[in-house]
Each structure stands twice: as structure tokens, then as C-alpha cells.
């Protein structure tokens, strides 16, 4: 990828994160959060999108972002109060902004009418006089793109004959100090980065460059805090800049330049002539800047020593040095912005801007495109708008997969080795056996860590949903509140990528079919606003996604009627409520009388079900008429290595996932009863549960095992249903590597996957849910009926 495209790709990646942040903030604002930090975070996000777009000349995007940003700025400054109405407009604006970003990315167009309408809505939030004042009604000047990067190289004397260099420089510096630039400096900015600023991949160079865009600048550097090389910590911060900025910019505009670094630097912005006050977060508390502070404190006292040390570099600043200010070097004038090459300047600016969060994202592709490793501030988990970023690394998925596979093999190999050692008759207390135990612990740790690399919070998918809900609700004229839980639940990346479609579909379905219209709801004694809850949770080593609405529930007679009409079931079929509910997953089933744009077109729940099954997942539904429905889909945390109970049945070695197992027991003959002469149930502490002979259920043999001669393993399915699996013996507990049957062979009912045991044989992993469900289908109400 050429460097420009690569940087652009980084910009769009960053946009995704910014849009997500923005939406989180706006959603919080919709809930009434008018905290200035929240508003600031939203503003920053929009501003950053605009800034990046500027470098690429994405005019449409810039124009819209500018209007959006201006309105947010009004809010930020307290001129526009946060109301429900305002929040809703802003949310819609965020959708339009996202469209613009998407269009810019794909090179497509945006809905011009919608944009114009949205701009009008945004302007409507601000009174007209103010809008004119802000230039909102004139979109022409709205940019970052058409601003000059008012930054001019100053010819330095570095190429002068070396002997003369210091003298010449000092003379130049002195004259510059004595005669400030022609334009009267209005702002004096003292900028002292702390180590944290650099650690977060922010760059003082960028900040200075941005500042130079605001007007004529004179930059002076105080390097008096810099120690000699042997005492230098390369990542500490020793420098302080004093910038005199002339121009008609407001303090807010000046400070805006520092918005990404304000927490990690000491900053003073004063009008020239005013007494400077260091920012509240003055550096004293920061270890990293301690040396700079010390230098600053020492400066007035030990000026000569410092001067002697840095003599040819720095000259003492004019007499107006404020007490808190470190010795300032004489300024070098960098006036009169000359036209810069926009592309190059923009590119550099963007590269550096991107590095605000993506330390290497911007530069690695330039330096070396492959391996495409970059750092990324990903740790934005949590709700806070200003969450600290931790450095992360972006790695090719393929590499991780190879690693995971290798670790899987390692686990198998380790199990085989253990088995060999065990078979060789070595004592458990032997050094080899003990060493193997350590190896096993280590292997497990490696495995957990490797799996964690691929795990990501479902947040990335969930965060797209509020918009969907808003749009669908608007389209069908319903009022919907979306409640999301468990956004930080982690699941394998491959699963996440494929979650989006089913969730989208289920949400559309819930709003379109599940929820009633506001009038119907009110008539039914409910609030006009329906609630849809989207939740993610871990259960039994799987991830469960639930979509629940508080709507009308499934109209079973109607569903049944449709199924009969469409010939999906026989007219006289006797179906339980559950079975009727599950009819909606049949191919071709659609309850919508009028095929709607939202969830109709016959692309129904059967598609959802198929896509979930393809992931090795299941979907189930529970519904209560008048109260709503709940769809639960449960998906494996793919490639997982599971803890299993190794059992034998009909001479086969099988593995039951430990997460499903409640207990194991030896059945007594008198506890086992036959229902209808065929299906066995077992009484466990006064509750009857189906007793499933695994050997028979999987077709390994036809004759059931006499219950008393086997072991019953009580398992619980995801739906909460219990059953006892009858096997011949339990061999032990072991960690096994899952090898997909679907990927290597085909799906087999009752078998979730396979694994390779320590002795090299293949063992099937039981699909407990499928076994339990099958037994229930045969006799759906056994548990209830027989319960004592």
C-alpha cells in the first residue's frame, strides 16, 4: 500500500473509533449527562474527524463536521443547553457524520438531501444571529482543509562554517529577541510537555506546528533542563517552549491546539503582558517533569551556571521572565506564513495527528509496510469519555491463528507426553512427573494468554446498534429505548465479525414485530416507549447474546395458523408452546401480513438461525403473550480449549464439557423409572430428570445400558434444562483442544466437536444442549410432571 493510502486507511480506522466515542458520549447526553467532560469528548471526536478530513481534502465531510462541531462548541461553552430535543438532533447528526465518513472511505456519495436537512436542523438549535456570527450559515469557510499550514522553514546556520556557527546564531537569536516580529504578539504560550505526553505518542512537534497554523509565531526553546547524555533518560521530558502568537485568535482556539495533550503537559496561555499562571496541573506532582521543574526553580538562582552549560544554544530571555517560568531561550522568529505544499504538509500533519492514538499507525506504513504492526490506543473500554489509552499492537490475524494452532498442538503433545509418562510407570512424585505438572500449568497459561489475544469485547458490534434502533423505530413509527448490557463481554474476533448480522436482524425483528405501536402500548396499559434489551454474557463457556423486547409476545394461534397455511406443519399436529414459538425459525416463515422494508422479504429468522448454526451456535426463543419475547443465541468462544470430563460409552471415549456438568453419581436401580416403557428418568433428590443413555443416543449401540452398571453425569443445558447422561465410566478430567467437526467433516447431531486425546485417538465432544433438547422433545414435560 502506498504511504498516502496507508495513512488514509489509518485515518478511517481512527474515525471508526472516534465515531464510536462520539456516539457513546451522545447516548450518555441523551440520558441527561451534561457533564462538560462528556460534551468535550464528543466535541473532540467530531473535531478530530474534521481535522483528519482536512488533510485529505474531504470537503463534504469537513463541511458537515464543521457545522456539527460548531453546535457542540456552543454547548461546550454553555450557550446551548442540553435538552432532549437537542440530544436527539445531535444523535441524528452523528449518524449523518458516520455516513459522510463511510462515503469518504468508499468513495461513494451521501444523501445530499439528508445532509442539507441535518445542517438546517443543527443550525436551528442555535439562534440565527449567533449562527451568522459563527459563520454557520456560510459553509464555504468551514474547514481545516483550506487553511494554510502557516509554517515556514527558517533558514538556520547549520551549514555555515562550523567555527562561525555559534556566533552567527547567537547574533540572530539576539536580534530576534530584541525585535519581536512585526505583528504584535498577543498570546504567550508556555508549553512544557511531560514524559506522559510522549509516552502516549503525542508529539510536541505536532503541537507547535498546529499552533503555527493559528498565526505568526515566535518559538523559543528552553533546553536548560536537558542533562548530559549519560544522565539523560530518553523518554523523559526536559524541554519547555515559549511561543508568542500574534493574530486574532481566542484563548479557546489557542487551547484547542493542546486538547489532546492538555492532561500531559504544563500549559500557560496568557495575553502578552498579563502575569502568567501555570496551569492548575502544574508539573510539580509529576515525576517525569521533575527535572524540568527543578531546572525552572533553579533558573533564576543559578542562571550563570545554566548559561555556561548551554551557552551557545540558549540566551537568557528578556527581563520579563516570570518567576514560574524557566529560563527561556531567545526566540527565533518564524513569521509570515508562506504557502506550504498542502499535500505534503497535510500528510505530515495527519501522520502526526494519527499518532495521537496510533503511535506507529501513521509512520510504520511509511517506513515499512510489512509487517503491518502498529500501535493503537485501544483501551477505551469503560464508559468514560477520557479513558487513558494503553499501548497496543495490531497484528495480522493470520499470525495469531498460527500461534493458536501451535499452542493447540502443544496442549495435545503435552497431554500425550503426560500419558506416556504415566504409562511408563513413573511415580507421581518423580521429578519427571512433577516437571510435567509444571509444564501443564505453563501450557495452560500460555493457552489462556493466546486465547485472550483474539478475544475482543462485543462492544464494537453493540455500538452500531443504537443507530439501527433509532432508524428502524423512526421508520415504523414506534418509540423504542435500547438498553445494552455486557458490552465488554469478550469473545473471539472471528465470532464478533459474524455477530453483527444476526443481532441486526433480531433487533429489527424485535422492533418491527415484537413491539406494539405507542397507541397499542398505551391501550394495553404499558408506557408508550417500548424497551429492547440487548445483552451479552458468558454462560457455560459460551457467549450468549440476548435480544429481549417488552412487546406483545408471540401470537401463538396466529403463528400456528400461518405454519399450517404454509404447509409447514400438519393441521392436527400437537405442538407445545415452545415448539410453536420455534416455528418462526422455519425457512419461509414470515408473519408479516405486509412485507415490510425492515424485517420482511422472507429473509426471516431462519436465516438468522442458519448463520448462527454455521458458527456452531444455537438460537432459542422464549415468549410470553402480552409481555414480550426473548431471543437467546449462544455461540462458542471459537477455537476454545475446553475443560472436559472424559467418559466412556459403548467402548468410545467421549468428552463432556465440564461447564455443563453439575455432578456425577452412580444410579440406583430403584431411582430409575421408565416412562411409557421406553424413556428413562432418574430421581435425583426428589426431582426427576431424563436419563439419557449416551451410547444409544449417539447410535453406538441399540441396547440401553443397565442404569445401575453405569455412571450418571448430571448436566445442565444452556436453557437451564437438566438431564442425566448415562455412561459406562468416567476416566477423568482433562483439558482438550477443540477440533471442529463442521470444518473437518460435517455437523453431527449430539456432537459438538472432536478432540485428540493423549494417546492420539480422536474423542468426540458431546453437545450437551442438543442431547438434552432431544430428550425433551421426546417428552417435553417430564420434569414438570414428575417433579415431586
Partner 1 sequence: MTDTDANVAEVSLGQVLDLQAAEPLRAELMALRGRPLQVDASQVSRLGGLCLQVLLSARISWAEDGLPLRIEQASDGFLEQLAAFGGPQINFEPEGAHL
Coil, strand, or helix at residue 541?
coil
The distance of closest approach from Cβ of residue 392 to partner 1 in the complex, given in angstroms and rounded to an integer, is 15
CB of 156 to partner 1, least distance (A): 6
155 binds partner 1 (CB under 8 A): yes
Residue 9 phi, psi dihedral angles, 5° rounding:
-60, -40
Task: Tell me whether residue 11 or residue 151 sits nearer to partner 1 (CB atom).
Answer: 151
> Between 368 and 420, whose beta carbon lies closer to partner 1?
368
| Nearest to partner 1 of 21, 169 (CB atom) | 169
Cα–Cα distance for residue pair 98/19, rounded to 1 Å: 7
Give exposure, 262-299, as e/b (b: 16+ Cβ within 10 Å). Answer: ebbbbbbbeeeeeebebbeebbeebebbbbbbebbebb
Q: Residues 240-269 vs partner 1: string with x where CB under 8 A?
A: -x----------------------------
C-alpha distances in Å from residue 73, one per residue of 78, 89, 391: 9, 15, 30
Distance separating alpha carbons of residues 241 and 507, to the nearest angstrom: 54
Count of positions on this chain that bind partner 1 (CB under 8 A): 58
Q: Among residues 232, 220, 237, which one has the least CA distance to residue 288? A: 237
55 binds partner 1 (CB under 8 A): no
Helix (H) or strand (E) holding 733: strand 729-737
CA distances from 650 to 645, 668, 710, 714, 729 (A): 16, 20, 11, 19, 10
16 to 20, 384, 636, 688, 755: CA distances (angstroms): 6, 17, 27, 53, 39
| 159 lines the binding site for partner 1 (CB under 8 A) | yes
Report the DSSP beta bridge partners of residue 394. 374
Q: How far is the CB of 470 from partner 1 (least distance, A)?
A: 41
Residue 467 falls in which region: left (phi positive, over 0), alpha (psi -120 to 50) or beta: alpha
In the complex, least distance from residue 232 CB atom to partner 1, rounded to whole angstroms: 4
Cell of 611: 448463520
Distance CA 645, CA 732 (A): 6
Element (H, E) at 638: none
Q: Under the criterion CB under 8 A, does residue 373 sit at the interface with partner 1?
A: no
Which of 135, 13, 120 is CA-nearest to residue 74? 135
**Which residue among 158, 280, 574, 594 contacts partner 1 (CB under 8 A)?**
158
Residue 189 binds partner 1 (CB under 8 A): no
| Residue ranges in 268-327 that form contacts with partner 1 under rule CB under 8 A | 309-310, 312-314
574 belongs to the binding site for partner 1 (CB under 8 A) = no
Closer to partner 1 at the Cβ: 3 or 704?
A: 3
Does 674 help bind partner 1 (rule: CB under 8 A)? no
| Minimum separation from the CB atom of position 161 to partner 1 (A) | 9
Q: What is the CA radius of gyration of the chain?
A: 34
Residue 339 makes contact with partner 1 by CB under 8 A = no
Q: Which of 110, 134, 181, 199 binds partner 1 (CB under 8 A)?
A: 199
Q: Minimum distance from CB of 146 to partner 1 (Å)?
A: 22
- Output the CA angle 589-594-597, nearest 5 degrees: 90
Q: Does 640 bind partner 1 (CB under 8 A)?
A: no
**Which of 72, 98, 104, 219 touches partner 1 (CB under 8 A)?**
219
Site of grid cell 441523551: 30
Burial of 195 (0-12, 13-18, 19+ CB in 10 A): buried
Shortest approach of partner 1 to residue 235 CB, angstroms? Answer: 6
CB of 312 or CB of 524, closer to partner 1:
312
CB of 255 to partner 1, least distance (A): 19
DSSP state of 322: -
Cα 710 to Cα 183, 351, 611: the distances in Å are 95, 68, 38
In whole angstroms, the minimum distance from the beta carbon of 48 to partner 1 comes to: 20
CB of 178 to partner 1, least distance (A): 16
Q: Least Å distance between CB 357 and partner 1?
A: 13
Burial of 186 from C-beta contacts in 10 A (0-12 / 13-18 / 19+): middle
Q: How is residue 151 written as a grid cell?
A: 509554517
Check binding of 232 to partner 1 (CB under 8 A): yes
The three cell numbers of residue 694 are: 449416551
Q: Between residues 68 and 198, which has the closer beta carbon with respect to partner 1?
A: 198
- From CA 768, how far away is CA 661, in angstroms rounded? 9
C-alpha cell of residue 372: 503491518
Q: Is 228 in the site for partner 1 (CB under 8 A)?
A: yes
Report the residue from 39, 334, 723, 765 that binds partner 1 according to the rule CB under 8 A: 334
Binding of residue 223 to partner 1 (CB under 8 A): yes
Q: What does the DSSP assignment read for 59-91? A: HHHHHHHHHHHHHHHHHHTTSS---HHHHHHHH
CB atoms under 10 Å from CB of 419, counted, come to 15
Which residues are registered as beta bridge partners of 653? 648
Q: How far is the CB of 218 from partner 1 (least distance, A)?
A: 8
Q: Which stretch binds partner 1 (CB under 8 A): 166-174, 432-440, 483-491, 550-558?
A: 166-174
Closest by CA to 315, choosing from 304, 303, 326, 330, is 330
With contacts defined by CB under 8 A, name the span among 139-147, 351-359, 448-456, 671-679 that binds partner 1.
351-359
When the beta carbons of 362 and 737 are compared against partner 1, the nearer one is 362
Q: Which is nearer to partner 1, 136 or 328 (CB)?
A: 328
The only residue of 11, 56, 187, 198 in contact with partner 1, by rule CB under 8 A: 198
Per-residue binder mask for partner 1 (CB under 8 A), 353-372, x = binder: --x---xx--x--xx-----
Q: Which is nearer to partner 1, 208 or 534 (CB)?
A: 208
Binding piece for partner 1, criterion CB under 8 A, among 21-29, 159-167, 462-470, 533-541: 159-167
169 binding partner 1? (CB under 8 A): yes
Q: Nearest CA to 58 among 93, 109, 126, 117?
A: 109
Instruction: State in angstroms the smallest separation of the CB of 332 from partner 1.
Output: 4
Binding test (CB under 8 A) with partner 1, winner from 56, 151, 258, 462: 151
Q: Where on the chain is the footprint of partner 1 (CB under 8 A)? A: 151-156, 158-159, 162-163, 165-166, 169, 173, 193, 198-199, 201, 203-205, 208-209, 212, 219-221, 223, 226-230, 232, 234-235, 237-239, 241, 309-310, 312-314, 329, 331-332, 334, 348, 351-352, 355, 359-360, 363, 366-367
Amino acid at each position: 500500500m502506498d504511504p498516502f493510502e496507508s495513512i488514509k486507511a489509518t485515518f478511517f480506522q481512527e474515525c471508526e473509533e472516534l465515531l464510536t466515542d462520539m456516539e457513546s458520549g451522545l447516548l450518555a447526553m441523551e440520558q441527561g449527562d451534561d457533564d462538560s467532560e462528556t460534551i468535550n469528548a464528543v466535541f473532540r471526536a467530531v473535531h478530530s474527524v474534521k481535522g483528519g478530513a482536512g488533510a485529505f481534502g474531504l470537503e463534504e465531510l469537513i463541511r458537515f463536521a464543521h457545522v456539527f462541531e460548531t453546535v457542540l462548541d456552543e454547548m461546550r461553552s454553555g450557550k446551548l443547553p442540553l435538552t432532549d430535543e437537542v440530544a436527539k438532533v445531535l444523535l441524528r447528526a452523528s449518524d449523518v457524520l458516520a455516513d459522510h465518513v463511510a462515503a469518504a472511505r468508499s468513495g461513494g456519495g451521501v444523501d445530499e438531501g439528508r445532509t442539507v436537512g441535518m445542517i438546517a436542523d443543527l443550525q436551528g438549535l442555535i439562534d440565527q444571529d449567533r449562527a451568522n456570527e459563527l459563520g454557520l450559515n456560510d459553509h464555504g469557510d468551514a474547514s481545516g482543509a483550506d487553511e494554510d499550514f502557516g509554517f515556514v522553514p527558517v533558514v538556520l546556520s547549520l551549514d555555515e562554517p562550523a567555527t562561525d556557527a555559534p556566533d552567527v546564531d547567537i547574533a540572530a537569536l539576539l536580534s530576534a529577541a530584541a525585535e519581536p516580529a512585526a505583528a504584535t504578539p498577543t498570546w504567550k504560550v508556555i508549553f512544557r510537555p511531560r514524559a506522559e505526553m510522549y509516552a502516549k505518542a503525542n508529539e510536541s512537534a505536532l503541537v507547535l506546528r498546529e499552533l503555527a497554523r493559528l498565526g505568526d509565531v515566535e518559538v523559543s526553546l528552553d533546553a536548560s533542563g536537558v542533562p548530559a547524555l549519560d544522565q539523560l533518560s530518553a523518554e523523559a521530558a526536559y524541554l519547555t517552549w515559549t511561543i508568542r502568537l500574534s493574530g486574532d485568535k481566542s484563548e479557546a482556539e489557542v487551547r484547542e491546539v493542546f486538547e489532546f495533550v492538555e492532561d500531559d503537559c504544563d500549559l500557560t496561555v496568557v495575553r502578552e503582558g498579563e502575569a502568567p499562571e501555570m496551569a492548575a496541573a502544574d508539573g510539580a506532582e509529576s515525576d517525569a517533569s521533575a527535572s524540568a521543574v527543578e531546572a525552572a526553580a533553579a533558573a533564576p538562582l543559578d542562571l550563570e551556571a545554566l548559561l555556561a552549560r548551554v551557552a551557545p544554544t540558549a540566551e537568557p530571555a528578556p527581563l520579563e521572565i516570570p518567576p514560574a517560568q524557566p529560563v527561556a531561550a531567545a526566540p527565533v522568529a518564524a513569521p509570515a506564513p508562506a504557502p506550504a505544499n498542502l499535500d505534503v504538509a497535510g500528510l505530515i500533519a495527519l501522520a502526526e495527528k494519527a499518532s495521537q492514538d496510533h503511535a506507529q499507525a501513521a509512520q510504520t506504513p511509511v517506513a515499512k509496510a510489512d509487517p503491518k504492526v502498529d500501535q493503537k490506543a485501544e483501551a477505551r473500554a469503560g464508559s468514560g469519555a477520557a479513558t487513558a489509552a494503553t499501548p497496543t499492537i495490531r497484528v495480522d490475524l493470520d499470525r495469531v491463528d498460527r500461534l493458536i494452532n501451535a499452542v493447540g498442538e502443544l496442549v495435545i503433545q503435552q497431554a500425550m507426553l503426560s500419558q506416556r509418562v504415566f504409562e511408563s510407570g513413573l511415580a507421581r512424585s518423580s521429578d519427571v512427573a512433577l516437571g510435567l505438572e509444571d509444564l501443564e500449568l505453563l501450557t495452560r497459561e500460555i493457552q489462556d494468554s493466546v486465547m485472550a489475544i483474539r478475544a475482543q469485547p462485543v462492544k464494537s458490534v453493540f455500538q452500531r446498534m443504537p443507530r439501527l434502533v433509532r432508524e428502524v423505530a423512526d421508520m415504523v413509527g414506534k418509540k423504542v429505548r435500547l438498553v445494552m448490557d455486557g458490552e465488554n463481554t469478550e469473545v473471539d474476533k472471528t465470532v464478533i465479525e459474524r455477530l453483527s448480522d444476526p443481532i441486526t436482524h433480531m433487533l429489527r425483528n424485535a422492533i418491527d414485530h415484537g413491539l406494539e405501536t405507542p397507541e397499542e402500548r398505551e391501550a394495553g396499559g404499558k408506557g408508550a416507549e417500548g424497551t429492547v434489551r440487548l445483552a451479552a454474557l458468558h454462560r457455560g463457556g459460551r457467549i450468549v447474546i440476548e435480544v429481549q423486547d417488552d412487546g406483545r409476545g408471540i401470537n401463538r394461534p396466529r403463528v400456528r395458523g400461518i405454519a399450517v397455511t404454509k404447509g409447514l406443519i400438519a393441521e392436527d399436529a400437537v405442538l407445545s408452546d415452545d415448539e410453536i414459538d420455534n416455528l418462526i425459525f422455519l425457512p419461509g416463515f414470515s408473519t408479516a401480513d405486509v412485507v415490510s422494508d425492515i424485517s420482511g422479504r422472507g429473509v426471516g429468522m431462519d436465516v438468522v438461525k442458519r448463520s448462527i448454526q454455521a458458527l456452531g451456535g444455537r438460537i432459542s426463543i422464549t415468549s410470553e403473550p402480552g409481555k414480550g419475547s426473548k431471543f437467546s443465541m449462544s455461540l462458542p468462544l471459537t477455537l476454545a480449549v475446553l475443560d472436559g470430563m472424559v467418559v466412556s460409552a459403548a467402548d468410545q471415549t467421549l468428552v463432556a464439557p465440564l461447564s455443563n456438568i453439575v455432578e456425577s453419581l452412580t444410579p440406583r436401580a430403584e431411582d430409575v423409572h421408565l416412562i411409557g416403557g421406553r424413556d428413562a428418568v432418574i430421581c435425583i433428590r426428589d426431582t426427576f430428570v431424563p436419563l439419557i443413555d449416551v451410547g444409544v443416543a449417539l447410535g453406538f449401540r441399540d441396547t440401553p445400558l443397565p442404569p445401575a452398571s453405569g455412571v450418571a453425569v448430571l448436566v445442565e443445558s444452556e436453557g437451564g434444562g437438566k438431564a442425566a447422561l448415562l455412561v459406562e465410566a468416567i476416566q477423568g478430567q482433562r483439558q482438550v483442544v477443540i477440533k471442529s467437526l463442521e470444518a473437518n467433516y460435517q455437523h453431527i447431531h449430539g456432537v459438538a466437536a472432536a478432540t485428540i486425546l493423549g494417546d492420539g485417538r480422536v474423542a468426540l465432544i458431546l453437545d450437551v444442549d442438543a442431547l438434552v433438547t432431544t430428550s425433551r422433545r421426546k417428552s417435553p414435560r417430564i420434569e414438570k410432571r414428575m417433579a415431586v
